């Protein structure tokens, strides 16, 4: 499913090894549940557990689409515009290609961020 979804957004070669690479890249462990783990230089930075495959896939593609969106924003930066405008819009659009639920969830997360930290279009 990861390869299928990755292909839908132009990144078919998403590697999620069952062992850490030590560079901060996430990996997935499967045992009594699904574990989404981020480890860097032997230090575990994050470990999330779920029994829901859809939740695991959301975690994976939340990170993948964020990375793609950051690259997109950097290549298309507009002077004076809060970079999150393009980043958030791009991430929501990518997630909508995979799941309307995921896109709606990310939109809610972005709105919560903006409630606390509104766009600031006076960068520059």
Q: Is residue 82 part of a domain?
A: yes
Strand order in the sheet with 34-40: 23-30, 34-40, 43-50
What lies within 8 Å, CB to CB, of 70 at 6+ separation is: 87
Structure tokens at 93: 């659009």
User: Which domain does 30 fall in, by range?
Assistant: 2-116
Q: What is the DSSP letter of 83?
A: T
Q: Is residue 121 part of a domain?
A: no
Task: Give the count of beta carbons closer than 10 Å to the beta carbon of residue 19.
Answer: 9
Task: Report phi then psi at 36, rounded to 5.
Answer: -100, 115
pTM of the model: 0.91
* pLDDT confidence of residue 12: 84
pLDDT in tens, 98-124: 999 999 999 999 999 999 999 999 865
Domain count, the chain: 1
pLDDT in tens, 6-59: 999 999 888 776 778 888 889 999 999 999 999 999 899 999 999 999 999 999
């Amino acid at each position: 499913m990861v390869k299928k979804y990755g292909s839908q957004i132009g990144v078919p070669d998403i590697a999620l090894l069952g062992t850490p690479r030590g560079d901060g890249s996430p990996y997935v462990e499967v045992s009594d549940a699904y574990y989404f783990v981020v480890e860097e230089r032997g230090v575990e930075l994050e470990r999330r557990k779920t029994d829901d495959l859809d939740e695991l896939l959301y975690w994976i593609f939340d990170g993948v689409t964020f990375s793609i969106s950051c690259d997109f924003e950097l290549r298309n930066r507009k002077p004076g515009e809060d970079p999150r405008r393009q980043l958030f819009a791009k991430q929501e659009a990518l997630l909508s290609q995979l799941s309307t639920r995921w896109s709606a969830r990310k939109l809610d997360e972005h709105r919560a961020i903006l409630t606390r930290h509104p766009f600031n279009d006076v960068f520059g």
